[in-house]
């Protein structure tokens, strides 16, 4: 029965076991069907340079199967509402975050994220906690909202640029600053009024170009910001040797406990080898790591010294 449950979980289904008087009666499996547009929507987000992380309360086997079908970059499974908020807090140390959710359980994470996005068909609590509410229940609207926001910001920058250039050139001319350079010519007040009206007209027409934008067209998608170069980041790791882990749930428990610590970027936990390899963004004391594991009722046998794995190189830039 355990083997069948594991097989169902690996297929993306959640097995439910029923028992009475300490006797197993049977098992059924339930599964959520991925929406047809979800894999394509995730590909569009990744093309924009966005890392997609799936947070779910389902067991890890089921979550990884669904994550593989959807094509997400990372899967965090078996998390409670408060733990979702902790994951968002951890990801925020790496950059700006956006959380997409539709349930009551998503509300803490929606509030914690830099931008909370609620699905229109979701609960009222989720919509109240979010900064943006999508009218439809399509994940592709998330990519569309990002395109619209980027285009709006670009349009604002264009309008500010042309407004300042326009005024820098024409205000001195209207004030007579160039009268000696132009043979005594002085701008007629009516021409100045017409020029000011033309400036406002150009700004409004440029803003109205957004009405012609197809927010669902991914043809011009690109990562946000201009690549300015590369930076190197030293990867620090520690290996925690422990005993007491018996199942995938134990692995997930240790992983969540370690990744909730400040300075811990990721934790790779294996019950077969009895180890947890943590990647550190900042130095973390061995005692802090051991305490986090022992609080979950596992025994720490030792923590290996900090090692340097090399250098990780990545793009960096600015919007």
Report yes or no: 261 and 284 within 8 Å, Cβ to Cβ. yes
What φ, ψ does residue 238 adopt, rounded to 5°? -135, 145
Instruction: Quote the tokens at residue 57.
Output: 């309360």
Which is it for strands 23-30 and 14-20: parallel, antiparallel or unpaired?
antiparallel
- How big is the chain, counted in residues? 319
**Whole-number CA gyration radius for the chain:** 27
Q: How far apart are the first and last CA of the chain?
A: 53
- The span from the CA of 219 to the CA of 227, in Å, is 20
Q: What is the pLDDT of residue 231?
A: 41
In tens, the pLDDT along 159-213 reads 999 888 888 877 877 777 777 776 666 777 788 788 888 888 888 999 999 999 9
Selection from 105, 101, 125, 136 nearest residue 115 by Cα: 101
Residues 77/56, Cβ–Cβ less than 8 Å: yes
In the prediction, which pLDDT does 43 show?
Answer: 92
Are the CB atoms for 116 and 129 separated by under 8 Å?
yes
DSSP 241-272: EEE---SHHHHHHHHHHHHTSTTEEEEEEETT
Sorted by sequence, the CB contacts under 8 Å of residue 317 that are 6+ apart come out as: 225, 226, 227, 228, 229
269 backbone dihedrals φ, ψ, rounded to 5°: -110, 135
Low-confidence ranges of the chain (pLDDT < 50): 226-233, 309-319
Query: What's residue 145's pLDDT?
Result: 92
CA distance linking residue 98 with residue 135, whole number of Å: 17
Q: Is 273 exposed, middle or buried (0-12, 13-18, 19+ CB in 10 A)?
A: exposed
């Amino acid at each position: 029965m355990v083997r069948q449950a594991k097989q169902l979980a690996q297929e993306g289904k959640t097995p439910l076991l029923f028992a009475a008087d300490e006797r197993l009666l049977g098992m059924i499996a339930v599964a959520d069907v991925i929406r047809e547009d979800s894999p394509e929507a995730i590909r569009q987000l990744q093309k924009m340079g966005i890392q997609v992380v799936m947070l779910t309360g389902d067991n890890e086997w089921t979550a990884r199967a669904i994550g593989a079908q959807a094509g997400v970059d990372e899967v965090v499974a078996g998390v409670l509402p408060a733990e979702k908020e902790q994951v968002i807090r951890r990801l925020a140390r790496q950059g700006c975050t956006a959380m997409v959710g539709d349930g009551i359980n998503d509300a803490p994470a929606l509030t914690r994220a830099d931008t909370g996005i609620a699905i229109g068909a979701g609960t009222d609590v989720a919509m109240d906690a979010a900064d943006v509410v999508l009218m439809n229940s399509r994940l592709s609207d998330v990519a569309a909202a990002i395109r619209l926001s980027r285009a709006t910001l670009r349009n604002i920058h264009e309008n500010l640029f042309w407004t300042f250039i326009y005024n820098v050139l024409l205000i001195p001319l209207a004030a007579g600053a160039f009268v000696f350079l132009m043979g005594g010519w002085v701008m007629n007040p009516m021409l100045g009024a017409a020029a000011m009206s033309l400036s406002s007209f150009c700004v409004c027409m440029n803003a109205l170009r957004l009405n012609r934008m197809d927010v669902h067209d991914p043809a011009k998608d690109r990562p946000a910001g201009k690549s300015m170069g590369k930076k190197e980041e030293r990867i620090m790791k520690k290996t925690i040797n422990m005993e007491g882990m018996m199942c995938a749930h134990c692995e997930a428990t240790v992983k969540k406990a370690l990744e909730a610590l400040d300075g811990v970027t990721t934790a790779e936990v294996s019950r077969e080898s009895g180890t947890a390899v943590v990647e550190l963004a900042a130095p973390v004391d061995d005692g802090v790591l051991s305490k986090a594991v022992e609080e979950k009722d596992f025994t720490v046998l030792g923590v290996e010294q900090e090692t340097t794995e090399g250098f990780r190189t990545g793009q960096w830039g600015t919007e």
